[in-house]
């Protein structure tokens, strides 16, 4: 039995020294053992973090763009040279395989690199002589203290969708990572300090609803960036905006992959397996509903099943393809969906409920699972399962498949597989989903575009990173200026007009 370590808050450039009143268990899901206890912040701890962040932001907002960029570049170098350390922490607490964990850090790094260009991104515009002797120009300024509340499934990448841009723009950050895998963000806080970020600009508080609720109501918090399940995203959006905060709240997903009869079925089968079972299906961009346009369903299912028989489930450090689920509770919930699918009449093609694994017997295992003959009213189709369960829905036409996708409550990501450029173009135009892949199963936009879904997959107007991220973390201001010249003056009570 490994001895449990303590994971605590990082506020004002240092770890919190006082004991916690409440803590949570952090597991190594491949071992099924508690490996750490994470402190849960009280209202007082949250208040202290916000106060510190607010004070630090007053100076940081006035640091020159040159100075802020230097810190960002230094952070980028440290993160890049030590990304394996973060990946190991992620594998130990989340369970995803090491290469996948490294992949998520690398995608987060892209946002840091994007934020290194902040001087260009913050450039305003200038109109000389908008009226006689009057110039008009626009600037963008930071918001203040930005709160980030992140989910368990990407303990490093999702926080990095937000904080590099928030900090580059001159804000300070209070982040509450998922209590299930909290270590990665603490190491990131150490990297910021080593990069020369002033103490108090990046603060980590750990905890649960108590900490989140305090962030939602704290008058010192300007914005909330949330990623997690849809009911909580809705709650965050409603309560954050009610309290006058700017909120972006990204929720759950059910991502469809539409395979047309002319598609390359080998490519489609590879993509379905990679996107369905990578990270044990615990990805917001995982493919969980495969919509096969007849007559190809039988052939496609045969190719997918064949590939699934070669997948190795096991400890993420041991060369497996797929790791465990994050907790025993979550594993049991996903397994209960498999039971429900059988009960509701779907055909279980591959059953992952008793998997052969390369890992400890106590690990939170569930093998890759494939259903055929899934129909739209079944719970395994309606709801987000967030595990290694792929459902095949058979349809008879492109139109039927499109209508199915557009009717679904979620609209995060989707993909079409076809060799017909015209059909793909029609799909990108007609599908009501925020991120679309054409022969690409996990279309996560690159950092200089913005990430976000439609419908119940996102509450708020602004997607993450890219130009929308820069807008979210800044407020626009327009200045109309006249420097006195002797020809001006006099009284005129009329509304100012440009002359």
Q: Which residues would be at the binding site for ligand NAD (CB under 6 A)?
A: 149-154, 158, 176, 178-179, 208-209, 212, 227-229, 232, 250-253, 284, 384, 386, 412, 453, 457
Distance between CA 245 and CA 65 in Å, rounded?
Answer: 26
Task: Tell me how far, at minimum, the Cβ of 396 lies from ligand NAD, in Å.
Answer: 30
Please report how many Cα atoms fall inside a 13 Å half-sphere around the Cα of residue 10, on the Cβ side. 23
Q: Residue 231 or 295: which CB sits closer to ligand NAD? A: 231
Which one of the listed residues 247, 284, 350, 405 is annotated catalytic? 284
Distance between CA 98 and CA 89 in Å, rounded?
Answer: 9
Q: Residue 237 or 398: which CB sits closer to ligand NAD? A: 237
Task: Tell me how far, at minimum, the Cβ of 213 lies from ligand NAD, in Å.
Answer: 6
Task: Tell me how far, at minimum, the Cβ of 174 lies from ligand NAD, in Å.
Answer: 13
Residue with tokens 């498999």: 338
Task: Tell me how far, at minimum, the Cβ of 180 lies from ligand NAD, in Å.
Answer: 7
Q: Residue 365 or 386: which CB sits closer to ligand NAD? A: 386
Distance between CA 326 and CA 5 in Å, rounded?
Answer: 19
Q: Omega into 295 within 30° of 0, i.e. cis?
A: yes
Q: 248 has which bridge partners? A: 225
Supply the Cα-derived Rg of the chain in whole angstroms. Answer: 25
Task: List phi, psi (to 5°) of 296.
Answer: -95, -5
Task: Tell me how far, at minimum, the Cβ of 390 lies from ligand NAD, in Å.
Answer: 16
Please report how many Cα atoms fall inside a 13 Å half-sphere around the Cα of residue 425, on the Cβ side. 3
313 CB-near residues (< 8 Å, 6+ apart): 320, 321, 322, 323, 324, 352, 355, 356, 357, 358, 359, 365, 367, 368
Task: Tell me how far, at minimum, the Cβ of 16 lies from ligand NAD, in Å.
Answer: 18
Indicate the helix (H) or strand (E) that contains 123.
none
CB 381 within 8 A of CB 337: no
CB 412 within 8 A of CB 253: yes
Q: In the complex, which residue's CB is closest to ligand NAD?
A: 228
* Among the listed residues 89, 121, 128, the one whose alpha carbon sits nearest the alpha carbon of residue 105: 89
Q: Residue 163 or 386: which CB sits closer to ligand NAD? A: 386
Distance between CA 108 and CA 403 in Å, rounded?
Answer: 34
Reply yes or no on whether 116 is catalytic.
Answer: no
484 CB-near residues (< 8 Å, 6+ apart): none
Q: Residue 60 or 226: which CB sits closer to ligand NAD? A: 226
Distance between CA 272 and CA 257 in Å, rounded?
Answer: 8
Q: Residue 204 or 212: which CB sits closer to ligand NAD? A: 212
Task: Tell me how far, at minimum, the Cβ of 236 lies from ligand NAD, in Å.
Answer: 7
> What count of other Cβ atoms lies within 10 Å of the Cβ of residue 201?
28
Q: Residue 364 or 386: which CB sits closer to ligand NAD? A: 386
Task: Tell me how far, at minimum, the Cβ of 191 lies from ligand NAD, in Å.
Answer: 21
Alpha-carbon torsion 191, 192, 198, 199, what sign?
Answer: negative
Q: Residue 228 or 316: which CB sits closer to ligand NAD? A: 228
Q: Which residues are catalytic?
A: 284
């Amino acid at each position: 039995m490994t001895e449990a370590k303590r994971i605590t808050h990082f506020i004002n450039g240092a770890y919190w020294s006082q004991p916690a009143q409440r803590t949570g268990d952090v597991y190594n899901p491949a071992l099924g053992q508690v490996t750490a206890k994470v402190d849960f912040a009280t209202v007082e701890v949250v208040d202290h973090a916000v106060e510190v962040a607010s004070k630090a932001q007053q100076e940081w907002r006035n640091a020159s763009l040159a100075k802020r960029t230097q810190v960002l570049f230094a952070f980028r170098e440290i993160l890049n040279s030590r990304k394996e350390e973060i990946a190991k922490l992620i594998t130990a607490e989340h369970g995803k395989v090491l290469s996948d964990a490294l992949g998520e850090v690398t995608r987060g790094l892209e946002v840091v690199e994007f934020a290194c260009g902040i001087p260009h991104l913050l450039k305003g515009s200038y109109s000389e002589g908008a009226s006689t002797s009057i110039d008009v120009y626009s600037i963008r300024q930071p918001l203040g203290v930005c709160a980030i509340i992140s989910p368990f499934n990407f303990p490093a990448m999702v926080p990095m969708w937000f904080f590099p841009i928030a900090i580059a723009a001159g804000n300070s950050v209070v982040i509450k990572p998922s209590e299930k895998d909290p270590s990665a963000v603490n190491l990131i806080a150490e990297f910021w300090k080593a990069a020369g970020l002033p103490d108090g600009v990046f603060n980590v508080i750990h905890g649960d609803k108590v900490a989140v609720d305090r962030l939602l109501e704290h008058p010192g918090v300007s914005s909330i960036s949330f990623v997690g399940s849809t009911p909580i995203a809705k709650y965050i959006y409603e309560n954050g905006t009610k309290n006058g905060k700017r909120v972006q709240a990204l929720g759950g997903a059910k991502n469809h992959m539409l395979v047309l009869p002319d598609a390359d079925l080998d490519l489609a089968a590879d993509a379905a397996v990679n996107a369905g079972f990578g990270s044990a299906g615990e990805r917001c961009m995982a493919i969980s509903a495969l919509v096969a346009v007849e007559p190809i369903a039988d052939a496609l299912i045969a190719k997918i099943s064949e590939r699934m028989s070669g997948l190795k489930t096991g400890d993420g450090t041991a060369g497996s393809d797929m790791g465990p689920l994050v907790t025993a509770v979550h594993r049991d919930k996903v397994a209960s969906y498999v039971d429900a699918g059988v009960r509701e009449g779907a055909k279980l093609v591959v059953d992952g409920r008793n998997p052969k694994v390369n890992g400890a017997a106590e690990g939170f295992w569930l093998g890759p699972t494939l259903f055929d003959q899934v129909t739209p009213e079944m719970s395994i189709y309606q709801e987000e399962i967030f595990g290694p369960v792929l459902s095949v829905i058979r349809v008879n036409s492109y139109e039927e498949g499109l209508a199915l996708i557009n009717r679904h409550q979620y609209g995060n990501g989707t993909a079409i597989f076809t060799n017909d450029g015209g059909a793909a173009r029609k799909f990108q135009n007609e599908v009501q989903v925020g991120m679309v892949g054409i022969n690409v199963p996990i279309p996560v936009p690159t950092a200089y575009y913005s990430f976000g879904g439609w419908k119940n997959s996102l509450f708020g107007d602004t997607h993450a990173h890219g130009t929308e991220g820069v807008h979210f973390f800044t407020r626009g201001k327009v200045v109309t200026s006249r420097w006195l010249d002797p020809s001006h003056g006099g009284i005129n009570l009329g509304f100012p007009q440009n002359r």
